[in-house]
Amino acid sequence: MNSEPIWRPLYPFVSHYHADDSVRMHYVDEGQGQPLLMVHGNPTWSFYWRNLILAFRDRYRVVAVDHVGCGLSDKPQHYRYTLQQHIDNLVRLVDHLGLDNVTLVAHDWGGPIGLGAVLARPDRFRGLVLMNTGAFPPDFITLRIQLCRVPWIGEWAIRRLNLFSRAALHMAVSKPERMTPEVRAGLLAPYDSWEHRVAVARFVRDIPRSPSHPTWRVLQEIEQGLRTLRDRPCQLIWGMRDWCFRPSCLERLVELLPEAKTHRLANAGHYVVEDAYEQIIARIERFLEREVGTSG
């Protein structure tokens, strides 16, 4: 008899699936009230949001997605793993669930994916919480990520050795004591084979270097669209020890969203929720009550 995975008690949520063209997208849908839509980046999944889901599901409807290719979603090998495709998938899920008065909570690639959905369905969204992300063409690509983009070698390192996901367990946090065996197992669980790491590699490949890349245009459109969202309550929460989305990314978002409430967490890294979920829960709670007014 198979025993329960050691990470499963940390993720005590019911699984839901939405199918589009026979490809299933997994999501968590917990609680009742006005919705919080939690959108992860690479190489995480809805497990990343577990502490926030537990904290808010008694007062809000918390929906946390797994992008196609990630988490417990299907992982087709021949699929259009692009920013625009992930945006389209999220828009379809929001429409399918009939979500309204939504507060977006997004991290890493979840920022542009979530903001792309907001711009596609502005009447459905009420507030924004963005963490260590970008919503514009990148000013730089770090050397660590550039190495993962080297033809053949990068793909082999990500998909055969799982180096991208494993390295993040060390490089994306500033509090390694929080990376318990259970947490490490949970973050890695969906990415246990060459086939299951396809989206991890495709996310890395989809980072645009120049305007000739299709995703560069999508990011430009999101950046331009942010100006139309300045009237929405917005909170920026940033782990200042992030080597990937550096503080300069935060300052660029502040310029684009000058009315945003900004919180700099000096002792948190890229996996800011892992490093500082207690502070983040408290700050989001106050933001929702005072700025968004969505308490159940």
State the DSSP string of the chain. -PPPPTTGGG----EEEEEETTEEEEEEEES-SSEEEEE--TT--GGGGHHHHHHHTTTSEEEEE--TTSTTS---SS---SHHHHHHHHHHHHHHHT--SEEEEEEETHHHHHHHHHHHSGGGEEEEEEEEE--S--S---HHHHHHTSTTHHHHHHHTS-HHHHHHHHHT-S-GGG--HHHHHHHHTT--STGGGHHHHHHHHTS-SSTTSHHHHHHHHHHHHGGGGTTS-EEEEEETT-SSS-HHHHHHHHHHSTT-EEEEETT--SSHHHHHHHHHHHHHHHHIIIII----
Specify the pLDDT at position 296. 43
Answer whether residue 140 shows pLDDT above 90.
Answer: no
Specify the pLDDT at position 42. 97
What predicted TM-score, i.e. pTM, was given to this entire model? 0.96
Answer whether residue 100 shows pLDDT above 70.
Answer: yes
Domain of 112, CATH number, reads: 3.40.50.1820
162 found inside a domain: yes
3 found inside a domain: no
Give 22-32 pLDDT, tens digit per residue.
899 999 999 99
Quote the CA–CA distance of 201 and 214 in Å, as a whole number: 17
On whether the CB atoms of residues 256 and 284 are closer than 8 A, the answer is no
Which structural domain range is residue 122 located in?
Answer: 8-292
Catalytic residues: 108, 242, 270
117 found inside a domain: yes
184 found inside a domain: yes
Residues with Cβ within 8 Å of 57's Cβ and at least 6 positions away in sequence, in order, are 30, 31
1 found inside a domain: no
Domains: count for the chain: 1
140 found inside a domain: yes
120 found inside a domain: yes
Give 158-208 pLDDT, tens digit per residue.
998 899 999 999 999 999 999 999 999 999 999 999 999 999 999 999 999
24 found inside a domain: yes
Look at 64 and 161; give whichever has higher pLDDT. 64
